[in-house]
Amino acid sequence: MSIEYVESTRMWILNTKKTSYVMGLNQLQQLQHIYWGARLPYSSDYMITEAGSFGSQECTTDIINLEYPAWGGMIYSEPCLKVTFADKVRDLVLAYDSYAITNQDIPELTIRLRDPYNGLVVDLHYKAFEELDVVERYVEIINTGSDPVDLEQAQSAVWSIPGNHEYRLTHLAGKWLGETQVKQSVLTEGKKVLESRRGTTSNHANPWFAIDRGQASEYAGDVWFGALSWSGNWKITAEVTPFYAVRVTGGVNDFDFTYQLQPGESFSTPVFTGGFTTDGFGQASRNMHRYQLERLLPREHAGELRKVLYNSWEATLFNVTEKDQIKLAEKAALLGVELFVVDDGWFGQRSNDEAGLGDWYVNKEKFPHGLQPLISRCNELGMEFGLWVEPEMVNPDSDLYRQHPDWVMHFPNRPRTESRTQLVLNLGREDVREYIYGFLHDLLQNHNIRFIKWDMNRPFSEPGWPNAPTGRDKEIWVRYVEGLYLILDRLKAEHSSVEIETCASGGGRVDNGILSRTDQAWTSDNTNAYERLFIQEGYSYAYCAKTMVAWVTDSGNPTLPLTYRFHSAMMGTLGIGSNLHHWSDEQLATATTMIQLYKDIRHIVQHGSLYRLSSPRKKHQTAVQYVTADLKESVVFVLSTNQAPFLMSPPLQLSGLDPNQLYQLEGFDVCRSGKSLMAQGIQVAMNGFFQSKIIRIIAV
């Protein structure tokens, strides 16, 4: 059993294959965190740290780690929960109440804490995924009293890192066209806050973290890591207290946050998934990838391989017409494309980004006979059809906005800041949700559309909700995301054959919350194959390759060889975004060969284990290897960057193979053991700028 309660020591022990997570009751009846790290053999291994005596300036919570600290009494570090009661009391005491363990597919522990004065109940939920070495946590806060309670901070969890060391934080930062860049900094006393206040996950920071002792590599070293399942304002705080306790607290951002609980109401926080490994950042990523592949991604399509897609955006921008799209589709089908996606421009009065969002009828001038002729042609050509939508948005120049100016988030008598000439609909409102669900349902019901790219191209501003029930207007930050999830869940339930791609001006909404409802993600609007190596490397720290959509394009790539662009894009889910009419016969032939190769190896890329052999940040060569679960097949991508042509690269040591298995390497004469390939490596001759190779490895 992977969760047990030890009566004699009053401790709960959650074991996964290689890790333990332990908490217990201290003498003050507080739930105290005890340990999170490598699995220890005996239940007697765990000790509770008793707080010593202090000067009047010190408080115990700087030393001992509470499992879910509430703000009240002497607490000065980051709390998980802060409330105001109806009688204006802002002090909260969380005492242990009871626990329950349920043992289904995945064992779950619930520990109930209760404020003895007011009756506010907090249920801490834990799921231990034994095989995946991760733990899911979330909290449900229940108002059992007779007056309303305002939540002012309600975090999903705090992760306490053991020991007294210098720790390093690894996180993903960036911006539009440059998402998920790997950043590292040593933690010192105080707080480092990673967050989004933009309403979406954001292109700028991603709700994922890793902590190590400053020496972990790809292959070795203790790494604690976690990712939040939330697609709105989020916050992750890495804190070192004056007594060197190291904690990572995370959840919905408390910035501009108040959530009212009427008697009987409850609030569930997003899930925060965490894990630990002794095997470095590579294993931390692989554990998260497995969790996503085996548990998180929508089950309907999780086992299927993602299709090679063509997307019209960079080829035709807003100028999509039936005639031109059919011509592109015919060319795409010849290359081996499996899914043809029409991007922005097909609807309303949409000839540029200044009009049309909100009016989701097919533009009659561009598609005089509706979408059907194009869809039928795609199907005849053996391709599925997909469509771009941006349901959460409205242009002021649209029929929808003229009819419902109050549907956008705004403050009365204040400006409504436009970005890309658009405003954000308030998905907290039921009428707005019904409208969005309604048009999407009709589109999917009446056409053979098997894929939608769901875009969201601007962050929130003036997040007002004039008609919200009294005291609930700030809940817009949360209710918007809940509204989005409701629509997606309903669509997935009613149209389960449809795959959804999440997009927000590139990778602005990629997180475990959206990935539990969408099948893949648009990684970045930056499609330069070289710059993508950095974006994709960071992406791979937190998210699996199967969800990482990458297109081969011409934009921003004037000098990079076409094979290099393909190799870069084949490291995730492959797409093509170029104007195929501009490709020469030779380029079309190269593309056909590359797409066939991708189809041959994509089961390894999309479902295999990923090893980052060489980082673009450190070497003049990027190398990523994928290995199937049975260790019989592998593929290595090697892409040189600005390596000087006369330099020989040192041998590339492979990973993840069966040491005693003999493997055949494509392009090499002799077969070698996995052990040799991992110990001695392979010599990849690549003497030049922006060269690339794919090496296939098959067990013999």
Report the nearest approach of ligand GLA to the CB of residue 318 (Å): 8
For the annotated catalytic residues, the residue numbers are 455, 525
> CB-wise, 68 or 522, nearer to ligand GLA?
522
Report the nearest approach of ligand GLA to the CB of residue 625 (Å): 29
Q: From CA 565, how far away is CA 598, in angstroms rounded?
A: 13
DSSP 620: S
Report the nearest approach of ligand GLA to the CB of residue 183 (Å): 23
From candidates 206, 273, 505, 516, binder to ligand GLA by CB under 6 A: 505
Q: Which residues contact 91 (CB under 8 A, 6 or more apart)?
A: 71, 72, 73
Q: Does 501 bind ligand GLA (CB under 6 A)?
A: no
| Cβ contact 24:12 at 8 Å | yes
Q: Does 313 bind ligand GLA (CB under 6 A)?
A: yes
- Termini Cα distance of the chain: 39
* Residue 434: its H or E element: helix 430-446
Q: Does 506 bind ligand GLA (CB under 6 A)?
A: yes
Report the nearest approach of ligand GLA to the CB of residue 389 (Å): 10
> CB-wise, 344 or 511, nearer to ligand GLA?
344
Instruction: Give the CB-side neighbour count of residue 480, counting CA atoms within 13 A.
Output: 30
Report the nearest approach of ligand GLA to the CB of residue 454 (Å): 10
> CB-wise, 231 or 457, nearer to ligand GLA?
457
470 phi and psi angles, rounded to 5 deg: -50, 135
442 phi and psi angles, rounded to 5 deg: -60, -45
Q: From CA 231, how far away is CA 480, in angstroms rounded?
A: 10
> CB-wise, 252 or 548, nearer to ligand GLA?
548
CB neighbours of residue 232 within 10 Å:
27
* Long-range residue pairs from 288-293, CB within 8 A, at least 24 positions apart, any chain: 288/134, 288/225, 288/227, 288/542, 288/543, 288/544, 289/543, 289/544, 289/545, 289/609, 289/610, 290/132, 290/609, 291/129, 291/132, 291/134, 292/512, 292/515, 292/543, 292/544, 292/547, 293/544, 293/546, 293/607
Q: Does 136 bind ligand GLA (CB under 6 A)?
A: no
> CB-wise, 20 or 363, nearer to ligand GLA?
363
From candidates 68, 209, 367, 388, binder to ligand GLA by CB under 6 A: 388
Q: From CA 243, how far away is CA 64, in angstroms rounded?
A: 9
> CB-wise, 177 or 220, nearer to ligand GLA?
177
Q: From CA 281, how far away is CA 286, in angstroms rounded?
A: 9
**How many residues bind to ligand GLA according to rule CB under 6 A?**
11
> CB-wise, 464 or 506, nearer to ligand GLA?
506
Q: From CA 230, how far away is CA 215, in angstroms rounded?
A: 30
Which residue's C-beta sits nearest to ligand GLA? 344
Q: Does 309 bind ligand GLA (CB under 6 A)?
A: no
Report the nearest approach of ligand GLA to the CB of residue 3 (Å): 42
- In sequence order, the β-bridge partners of residue 453 are 388, 501
Q: From CA 58, how far away is CA 81, in angstroms rounded?
A: 21
Q: What share of the chain is helix, strand, coil (3-state, %, to 5)?
A: 25, 30, 45
Per the rule left: phi > 0, alpha: psi between -120 and 50, beta: everything else, 358 is left
Q: Does 310 bind ligand GLA (CB under 6 A)?
A: no
From candidates 253, 457, 526, 625, binder to ligand GLA by CB under 6 A: 457
From candidates 159, 346, 477, 522, binder to ligand GLA by CB under 6 A: 522
Q: Does 507 bind ligand GLA (CB under 6 A)?
A: no
CA dist 646 → 561, 637, 649, 689 (Å): 20, 21, 10, 10
From candidates 133, 397, 455, 633, binder to ligand GLA by CB under 6 A: 455
CA dist 402 → 194, 237, 395 (Å): 38, 42, 10
Report the nearest approach of ligand GLA to the CB of residue 587 (Å): 22
Only one of the segments 50-58, 86-94, 216-224, 499-507 lies at the binding site for ligand GLA (rule: CB under 6 A); that segment is: 499-507
From candidates 123, 344, 392, 519, binder to ligand GLA by CB under 6 A: 344
> CB-wise, 81 or 425, nearer to ligand GLA?
425
Which residue is it, tokens 């490709």? 583
Only one of the segments 334-342, 459-467, 498-506, 650-658 lies at the binding site for ligand GLA (rule: CB under 6 A); that segment is: 498-506
Q: Does 397 bind ligand GLA (CB under 6 A)?
A: no
Report the nearest approach of ligand GLA to the CB of residue 348 (Å): 13
Report the nearest approach of ligand GLA to the CB of residue 387 (Å): 11
> CB-wise, 160 or 231, nearer to ligand GLA?
231
Q: Does 180 bind ligand GLA (CB under 6 A)?
A: no
Only one of the segments 70-78, 82-90, 248-256, 500-508 lies at the binding site for ligand GLA (rule: CB under 6 A); that segment is: 500-508
Q: Does 503 bind ligand GLA (CB under 6 A)?
A: yes
Helix H segments across 548-611?
Answer: 562-569, 585-607
Q: Does 551 bind ligand GLA (CB under 6 A)?
A: no
Site of interaction with ligand GLA (CB under 6 A): 313, 343-344, 388, 455, 457, 503, 505-506, 522, 525
